[in-house]
């Protein structure tokens, strides 16, 4: 039971750090739309990803009496739809742009050379190698950004147990 609790605590810390990163990004997006006018400011923030993607939205209930069942269902659906709608302009569209740019580089690489420069049987095509290196680089960069905070690493190191032996082989950065 103790091991599950520690694993759950570690997962919660990682999720909280991701929420903090997303909250900072959301604040920057909302700051970008400040001063753009009374109509464009909320519209731009809504369409541009101005709601946290890792937190459920909060919509106040009707103040004119008890909420009807259909109104309650619509409100709850909208509260869960806000983070999803915010995720698309913040993360999905930029990721798709990076993937399409990689595909473009891959197509350019494949267009050079004549028959003698083409892929031989049993060789890895250069376009697949470029995509693989780009994916590894992106994953490495993301992992580095996630674990940049030393306090997260130190807490993880202090909570690692092997056969209930504390600090069995501490790693250092």
- What pLDDT, in 10s, does the model give residues 84-116? 888 888 888 888 988 888 888 888 877 776 666
Nearest to 2 by CA among 172, 164, 173: 164
Collapsing DSSP to helix, strand or coil, 161 comes out as strand
Query: In this predicted model, which residue has the larger pLDDT, 155 or 87?
Result: 87
Q: Residue 129: its pLDDT value, please? A: 67
Query: In this predicted model, which residue has the larger pLDDT, 91 or 143?
Result: 91
Q: What is the pLDDT of residues 32-65, one digit of tens each?
A: 888 888 888 888 777 888 888 888 888 777 666 6
In this structure, of 32-36, 81-85, 117-121, the range with the lowest mean pLDDT score is 117-121
Query: Any idea where the domains of the chain sit in the sequence?
Result: 2-109+124-166
Dump strand ranges (E) for the chain.
Answer: 161-162, 165-166
Q: Residue 151: its pLDDT value, please? A: 58
Question: What tokens does 55 get?
Answer: 């937190």
On average, the pLDDT of the chain sits at 75
Q: Residue 7: its pLDDT value, please? A: 74
Note whether 41 and 30 are within 8 A (CB): no
Note whether 31 and 7 are within 8 A (CB): no
């Amino acid at each position: 039971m103790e091991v599950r609790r520690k694993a759950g605590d570690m997962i919660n810390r990682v999720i909280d750090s991701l929420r903090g990163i997303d909250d900072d990004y959301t604040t920057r997006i909302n700051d970008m739309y400040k001063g753009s006018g009374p109509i464009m400011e909320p519209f731009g923030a809504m369409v541009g990803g101005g709601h946290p993607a890792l937190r459920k939205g909060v919509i106040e209930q009707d103040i004119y009496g008890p909420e009807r069942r259909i109104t309650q269902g619509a409100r709850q659906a909208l509260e869960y739809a806000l983070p999803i709608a915010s995720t698309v302009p913040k993360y999905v569209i930029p990721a798709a742009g990076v993937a399409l740019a990689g595909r473009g580089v891959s197509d350019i690489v494949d267009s050079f050379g004549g028959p003698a420069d083409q892929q031989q049987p049993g060789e890895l095509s250069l376009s697949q190698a470029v995509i693989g290196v780009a994916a590894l680089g992106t994953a490495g960069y993301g992992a580095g950004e996630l674990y940049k905070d030393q306090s997260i690493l130190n807490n993880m190191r202090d909570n690692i147990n092997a056969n209930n032996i504390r600090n069995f082989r501490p790693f250092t950065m």
